[in-house]
Structure 1
């Protein structure tokens, strides 16, 4: 059996509670729930969004500084500084064949290990 959330108050305590700010708010909240709960909640969300928009603006301004428009001089400098492309050279570089000559060496087996020869 569970007890309700309603707190027991004597008649004198109940009158004092109803006269207090909390009592008046509770009575108003039960009559007009959106006006006393929903509207302040929505206003807090909207004002928080407006206040936080300055922080998001800083984030996007920072990313905009990284991406800049190039002028013609910069493009010409980039084209002149590029190395020439040779497909064979790139193939060997990607294969790692140009680094050095090497030979595969068989790993020595343990005493009782099989050779796994098919």
Structure 2
């Protein structure tokens, strides 16, 4: 048994009016060459939208970069004139976490809750 179509019934006069309308002419063109009249405009609109949106996002990130890069004259002079001496050993110990504040560190066993096993093997 065939399926029922969703086409609305139109009289001959209504069908003629429909075929003369913009939508009717467009549907006839789509039936003749669907890619040219439906697929190509869709793909072009997606590509155009992508280009436009990429310009908006680029503008957004450029504005954020300008906020980060802006320095006043005093800060620029401080950065240019301030020379920081770097001690390689101190930097190494900072990275390793072996500075004076941690030299008295020793491992300590965590107290067990009452009834919890010691897990000694």
- Report the equivalent of 1:85: 87
Aligned length: 111
Give me the TM-score of the superposition, normalised by structure 2.
Answer: 0.56
Q: CA deviation at 1:85?
A: 1.0
* Runs of at least 5 residues in structure 1 that lack an aligned partner in the other structure: none
Q: Distance in 2 between matches of 1:46 and 1:18?
A: 31
RMSD: 3.6
Is 1:98 equivalent to 2:100 in the alignment? yes
Q: Distance in 2 between matches of 1:22 and 1:44?
A: 20
Structure 1 moving runs of 4+ over 6 Å = none
Give me the TM-score of the superposition, normalised by structure 1.
Answer: 0.57
Q: Distance in 2 between matches of 1:96 and 1:41?
A: 63
* Runs of at least 5 residues in structure 2 that lack an aligned partner in the other structure: 71-76
Q: How does 1:1-118 map to 2 (within 5 A)?
A: 2-62=3-63, 65=66, 66=68, 77=81, 80=83, 82-87=84-89, 89-93=90-94, 94-96=96-98, 98-99=100-101, 101-118=104-121
